[in-house]
Amino acid sequence: MPRSTAKAAPRPYHHGDLAEALLQAAADLLAEAGPERFSLRECARRAGVSHAAPAHHFGDTRGLLTAYAARGFEALAQRLQAAARTVADPVARLQAQGEAYVAFALEHPARYQLMFRSGQTDMDMPLLSDAAQAAWAELANAVAAARGTEPARDSSDPHAALAWAAVHGLALLLIDGRMAPARARPDAWRRMTRDTLAALAPAWRPPV
């Protein structure tokens, strides 16, 4: 779908809510223009403040986008937690979380791209690295529950890495239009995600 070129009117700014106003403006601008064309000046204009105002909370463009990406990981973790509560079987729970993961990416493609591959955030900032780790831990813990093992401490665990690679790879392929038939039919991506995770399910069964 073509992106709109019309500029949104500045939002009214209320004293004491500058950070939230800027984060919301960043969300709107990213959804329209994508991470590569993000402008801090335009973001400030939409928030109804001067172009210098964001420095008081975020320092610079990288700081603002890092904070917004951290919010994205927090939202992703919440989606995974909600999906986990829908089923009791550990393997089915992991599959439900995988589906929720891909759904999140497709609903928020610009934010997802910023979170993982834009090069415009600072992963060394605890704000972002901790949020990313917490989201990854949701999948790692689900894999451990399915296998009856201790949760992986980092992404070097092959079983947790397999789950992450599967859903992350599907998400990026779908966002990039590499699986056009799956995007063309309503919920076709959902069936593809389920089938892919079902094919991998034997890897997540408890070791004999």
* Sequence ranges of the domains in the chain: 18-58, 66-203
Give pLDDT tens digits along the chain (208 positions): 344 444 555 454 444 588 899 999 999 999 998 888 888 899 999 888 888 888 888 989 899 999 999 999 999 999 999 999 999 999 889 999 999 999 999 999 999 999 987 688 999 999 999 999 999 999 999 999 888 888 877 777 888 888 899 999 999 999 888 876 656 677 888 888 888 888 888 877 766 6
What's the alpha-carbon Rg for the chain, to the nearest Å? 19
DSSP 66-88: HHHHHHHHHHHHHHHHHHHTT--
Give domain 66-203's CATH superfamily: Tetracycline Repressor, domain 2 (1.10.357.10)
CA distance 103 to 143: 19
Answer CATH for 18-58 from 3.40.50.2300, 3.40.50.970, 3.40.190.10, 1.10.10.60: 1.10.10.60
